[in-house]
Chains A and B, each alone.
Chain A
Amino acid sequence: MATIYINSMSIIAPGIMDRTQALSILRGECDWQHVPMGNITPGLLPANERRRTTALIKLALKAGQEAMLASGEEYAVASVFASSESDPDITDKICKALLLEDKPVSPTQFHNSVFNAAAGYWAIAAKSKKPSVSLSAGDASFTTGLLEAVSQVIVDAEPVLLVAYDYPAPPLLDAMWHIDFPYATALLLSSRKSDNCLASITVEAASDGVQPSMCASQSLEIMRHGNPVARSLPLLEAIAAEREGTVILPYINQQTVLVRVWP
């Protein structure tokens, strides 16, 4: 199993708006509290582009930006964007427009409706012409994004930014797919250990019949159930802890993925 270095990490969620906050909550120095989230401004994106983005896109971009800023590395790296549902708010708006006379779908909303919209804006913001994959595997989207990012690092030996994110749906769709709060996380993975490196990992696919890990912190364990992407939290806790350990992440088909973590 190839060793992958986690050179940076970020979380953006209610009550976690920057990296310092994220690390102290992940290390158990304080509890996570659900403080309603204000407007997010990913400063990296030019204002005229930012105006056209949605709350979900801003959330994803902010997580990516925090991780790259902390890494001290070039922003133009390959990327993997993972989300269960992408932008339910846009789906809602387009489906409502289709009910009106002449079906006035907004052109901006339509181009924002592509699942890879966040990745497209990220490429513009980061001025990155590098490859980018946007993927979904439902509730297992974070773990699936991690496998894709690790595969890329193994095959291409270049750094990869993984951004995973999900945003609550508006009322009509919320009845079909409910999540408690917005949550995004970003990891910078590499085959080279940087000065800011947080942890080393190996990732093994599909071990059967084992239960996924829970969070060590009780408050984070509550958070883990509130958003599909928050299933990443046991791994992020282990990375922040700077101790050796093993994390089991839930994957597709009731299977799991085993991540070995060490400082």
Chain B
Amino acid sequence: MPIPSLKITAASLVNALGRGKTGVWQNISREESGLRQARYPGLEFETWIGEVEAAAAYPLEVKLDKFNCRNNRLAKLGLDSDGFRDAVENAKQKYGASRIGVFMGTSTSGIEETEKAYRHMDRERLPQDFDMLHTHNIASVQAYTQASLGLNGVGMTISTACSSSAKVFASAQRHIMAGYCDAAVVGGVDSLCLTTLYGFHSLQLVSAQPCQPWDQDRQGINIGEAAGYALLEKDNRDAPGCRLLGYGESSDAYHMSTPHPQGDGAVLAMQQALARAGLSADAIGYINLHGTATHSNDSAEDVAISRVFKNPLACSSTKGFTGHTLGAAGITEIVFACLALEAGLLPANINFRQRDPAFKTTVLTENKRQVIDYAMSNSFGFGGTNCSVIVGR
């Protein structure tokens, strides 16, 4: 059941490593992490975070000020990076504003505004100027992106926790194949908030130290924030850029916050991505792991990979660089996979010290120069949602 591939004609990244792909990739090339000891208003336990400082105050367009919240400020930073707006303008000339869909992923949208409104509650009422629909509502980031880019085609926000902005590639591909649009802007934005910091903390999943994916002593996640966008067009093999080759999606049907221990759902997602791409497991040259650094995630993903890939291959989690950017992890790491293909450089799994004796797969302990043709990115989330995406040169 292979599907027609799509061309990724433009992409942008903003995360703790920097604004724009060049700066971000430079830090990856130097194996320098963007994680810092956490300072965030109201945060009273020790951890490290992947913060985008500019997201605190970056201005939105005056006419779109009703959308103003940390999440949409981060979205605008993403739209203003890497010449992404120009690429969308070109696509508008080609297809028309109504034929370009917008598919966004987020887990918590602008919930920081709701947290603030509760802090400023007066006589059992939230402040008058709190605009829940344009900030907190899950659809806000898609509505803002569409308005900011001047697009008016199909669109949605997918919110499936940490797989959100991987699944946007699948929905965009389907809408193009079904004829509902000719091209698509896909993306993911998630921003720091007390809900996720204290929520993951309540589940004892947050590390007080820099996170150590795949390490024997991994203590949990560092939360990060990020925005990322990609423009998908029907494949023209002569144009430069990576191609979206396949996606696979599944449900664990096991537990709300713990992955299936044998990685059953993850196996299905990876196998379906390979089938849609028309590739055998041996063709994949690099996997960007979900690799959150929680005990159960890394161990389930390790089992799943060993069930699908019989021969050893290059793997790394890049969450030691960016933190776990939750609903933005998919887009961030799929664009990382594209950059790895283009640069012939496979990123290291930084902060890794000691191999877990139970693990079958190994990770790259330092950056590796290697030219490869195909890479896979894994994104799994609460609720037992799994998504794998394959990109190629």
Instruction: Identify the A interface with B (CB < 8 A).
Output: 2, 52, 84-86, 91, 94-99, 102-107, 110-117, 119-121, 123-124, 126-138, 141, 144, 147-148, 150-152, 154-155, 171-173, 175-177, 205-206, 252-253, 255
Q: Are A116 and B203 in contact (CB under 8 A)?
A: no
B240 located at the interface, meaning its Cβ lies under 8 Å from any Cβ of chain A in the complex: no
Name 18 extra pairs, CB < 8 A, besides A103-B44, A124-B384: A52-B256, A94-B199, A95-B114, A99-B118, A105-B202, A113-B195, A114-B381, A115-B161, A119-B160, A120-B383, A123-B384, A136-B159, A138-B137, A150-B178, A151-B175, A205-B153, A205-B180, A206-B154
Interface secondary structure of A, over-half rule: mixed
Docked complex Cα distance between A160 and B209 (Å): 43
* Distance from A166 Cβ to chain B, minimum over Cβ atoms (Å): 12
- Residues of chain B within 8 A (CB-CB) of A107 are 199, 202-203, 257
Task: Decide: A111 near B160, CB < 8 A? Known: A120-B382, A148-B171, A151-B177.
Answer: no
Q: Are A144 and B198 in contact (CB under 8 A)?
A: no
- The residue in B158, B199, B255, B265 that gathers the most chain A C-beta atoms within 10 A of its C-beta is B199
B167 located at the interface, meaning its Cβ lies under 8 Å from any Cβ of chain A in the complex: yes
Docked complex Cα distance between A205 and B155 (Å): 11
Task: Decide: A175 near B125, CB < 8 A? Known: A91-B114, A94-B199, A253-B152.
Answer: yes
- Residues of chain B within 8 A (CB-CB) of A119 are 160, 251, 383, 385
- Residues of chain B within 8 A (CB-CB) of A128 are 251, 253
Task: Decide: A176 near B130, CB < 8 A? Known: A94-B199, A99-B118, A105-B202.
Answer: yes
- Residues of chain A within 8 A (CB-CB) of B124 are 171-172
Task: Decide: A116 near B160, CB < 8 A? Known: A129-B250, A175-B126.
Answer: yes
Q: Are B178 and A134 in contact (CB under 8 A)?
A: no
Q: Are A131 and B251 in contact (CB under 8 A)?
A: yes
B233 located at the interface, meaning its Cβ lies under 8 Å from any Cβ of chain A in the complex: no
**Interface-forming stretch among B15-23, B138-146, B306-314?**
B138-146
Interface code B320-341, partner A: CB below 8 Å = 1, 0 otherwise?
Answer: 0000000000000000000000
Task: Decide: A95 near B161, CB < 8 A? Known: A84-B137, A173-B132.
Answer: no
Interface secondary structure of B, over-half rule: mixed
Q: Are B256 and A151 in contact (CB under 8 A)?
A: no
Q: Are A99 and B119 in contact (CB under 8 A)?
A: yes
Number of A-B contacts (CB under 8 A): 211
- Residues of chain A within 8 A (CB-CB) of B42 are 98, 103
- Please list the 10 inter-chain residue pairs (A to B) with the smallest Cβ-Cβ separation, ordered nearest first: A120-B383, A115-B159, A110-B199, A131-B249, A123-B251, A136-B138, A151-B174, A176-B132, A95-B118, A151-B178
Chain B, range 120-138, C-beta contacts under 8 Å to A: 121, 124-126, 130, 132-133, 136-138
Q: How many residues of B contact A (CB 8 A)?
A: 70
Chain B, range 217-261, C-beta contacts under 8 Å to A: 249-257
- Residues of chain A within 8 A (CB-CB) of B136 are 91
Q: Are A112 and B256 in contact (CB under 8 A)?
A: yes
* Distance from A134 Cβ to chain B, minimum over Cβ atoms (Å): 5
Task: Decide: A133 near B268, CB < 8 A? Known: A98-B118, A111-B257.
Answer: no
- Residues of chain A within 8 A (CB-CB) of B139 are 84, 136-138, 141
- Residues of chain A within 8 A (CB-CB) of B160 are 114-116, 119, 132-134
- The residue in B117, B154, B268 that gathers the most chain A C-beta atoms within 10 A of its C-beta is B154
* Distance from B239 Cβ to chain A, minimum over Cβ atoms (Å): 24
Q: Are A151 and B180 in contact (CB under 8 A)?
A: yes
Interface code B40-53, partner A: CB below 8 Å = 1, 0 otherwise?
Answer: 00101000000000
Docked complex Cα distance between A173 and B113 (Å): 12
Residue pairs across A and B with Cβ atoms less than 8 A apart, 17 shown, are A2-B178, A84-B137, A94-B195, A95-B195, A105-B195, A107-B199, A114-B159, A114-B381, A115-B159, A123-B384, A128-B253, A131-B249, A131-B250, A132-B251, A135-B156, A151-B180, A176-B132
Docked complex Cα distance between A2 and B175 (Å): 13
Q: Are A252 and B155 in contact (CB under 8 A)?
A: yes
Partner of A114, one of B174, B255, B382: B382
Q: Are A86 and B138 in contact (CB under 8 A)?
A: yes
Task: Decide: A85 near B199, CB < 8 A? Known: A119-B385, A133-B160.
Answer: no
Docked complex Cα distance between A97 and B255 (Å): 24
